[in-house]
């Protein structure tokens, strides 16, 4: 059985001339796109596309099929616009505040797909620290914000969680340990330490303090992650960082799990004054659907954040 995704994918392939480009536009894998087109062709009993290594072309019968698909999708978008307008979602504005890395890594795809479904809604994205975002939410300065470790019982929608790991320069004596052996946090507190905040109140130093310890040799504190990792590579010190912030190039670094795993959690929450706004409700509903596991969710299930899943700040 076909659905709107099949037809949107077909039109996207005709527009881009590429299954992989169309798959990226529709938020699915290339293999999923190929399977969807095969299902559509099997259902119709005709070949719509001819695919080889170099290009994808439309067959003679495929041309009028795609033209009718465009009209069908345009009518569907028109129907949805009418429905949105009746619920006050046709136009509006959402002020959204996030940590910089959440915006750059997790939210772009979600925001793009939301804008495609609600083109009349303007989203204003603001960067802030975790403390600033909580202050803005309390004051109603923003409509929606990403908060760290949302309180139990709050109405925050959890986007994922992130494990803290120890990062050690390869020249450090601790780097001789097997990477399969976890490190106790208390082994790090007397070592030269690089504090990387990432613009967040909860950082490596605060994490150590929350576990009842204190750092005795903080060499430097920096906000941005790339600088922190360069300092660690240069032997200035070691650090404790969120796993999702590990660089793709880990040359010069050794990464160790903590023997008592510690996580930070991220949640999307709305300001009290904005909670009943139709555009904000539509935004949360879109995020929930997009984060569902399986074929309906295009961004993966909510869960532990890692380098290969929905990385956050």
How much is the mean pLDDT over the chain?
84
Q: Is the pLDDT of residue 240 over 90?
A: yes
Rounded Cα distance between 281 and 275, Å, is: 7
Distance from C-alpha of 101 to C-alpha of 243, rounded to nearest angstrom: 13
Least confident of 3-12, 79-88, 131-140, 201-210: 79-88
Residue 23: per-residue pLDDT: 87
Instruction: State residue 304's pLDDT score.
Output: 37
3-state helix, strand, coil in the chain (%, to 5): 40, 20, 35
The pLDDT of 82-94, averaged and rounded, is 74
User: 100 falls in which pLDDT band (50, 70, 90)?
Assistant: low
User: What letters, b where the CB count within 10 A reaches 16 and e where it falls short, cover 70-96?
Assistant: eeeeeeeeeeebeebeeeebbebebbb
Give first-to-last CA distance, the chain, whole Å.
Answer: 39
Q: What mean pLDDT do residues 87-96 have?
A: 78
What pLDDT, on a 0 to 100 scale, did the predictor assign at position 89?
64
Q: Take residue 45 and report the two structure tokens written for it.
A: 């009993």
pLDDT at position 290 over 90 = no
Q: Taking 60 as the threshold, does the pLDDT of residue 306 lie above it? A: no
C-alpha distance from residue 21 to each of 15, 27, 97, 218, 277 (Å): 10, 10, 30, 47, 35
Please check the confidence at residue 241 and state whether its pLDDT lies above 80: yes
């Amino acid at each position: 059985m076909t659905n709107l995704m099949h037809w949107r994918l077909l039109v996207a392939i005709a527009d881009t001339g590429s299954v992989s480009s169309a798959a990226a536009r529709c938020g699915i894998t290339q293999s999923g796109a190929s399977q969807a087109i095969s299902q559509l062709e099997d259902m119709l009993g005709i070949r719509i596309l001819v695919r080889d290594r170099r290009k994808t072309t439309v067959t003679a019968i495929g041309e009028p099929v795609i033209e009718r698909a465009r009209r069908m999708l345009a009518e569907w978008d028109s129907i949805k616009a009418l429905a949105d307008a009746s619920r006050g979602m046709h136009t509006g504005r959402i002020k959204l505040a996030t940590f910089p890395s959440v915006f750059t890594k997790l939210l772009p795809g979600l925001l793009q797909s939301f804008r495609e479904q609600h083109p009349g809604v303007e989203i204003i994205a603001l960067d802030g620290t975790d403390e600033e975002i909580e202050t803005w939410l309390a004051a109603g300065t923003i409509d929606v914000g990403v908060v760290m470790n949302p309180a139990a019982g709050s109405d925050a929608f959890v986007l994922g969680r992130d494990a803290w790991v120890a990062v050690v320069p390869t020249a450090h004596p601790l780097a001789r340990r097997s990477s399969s052996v976890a490190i106790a946090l208390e082994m790090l507190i007397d070592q030269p330490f690089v504090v990387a905040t990432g613009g967040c109140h909860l950082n490596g130093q605060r994490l150590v303090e929350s576990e009842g310890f204190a750092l005795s040799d903080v060499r430097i504190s920096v906000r941005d992650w790339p600088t922190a990792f360069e300092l660690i590579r240069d032997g200035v010190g070691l650090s404790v960082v969120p796993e999702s912030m590990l660089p793709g190039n880990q040359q010069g670094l050794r990464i160790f799990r903590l023997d008592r795993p510690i996580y930070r959690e991220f949640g999307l929450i709305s300001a009290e004054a904005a909670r009943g706004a139709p555009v904000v409700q539509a935004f949360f509903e879109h995020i929930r659907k997009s984060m569902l596991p399986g074929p309906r969710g295009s961004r993966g299930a909510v869960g532990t954040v890692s380098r290969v899943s929905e990385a956050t700040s």
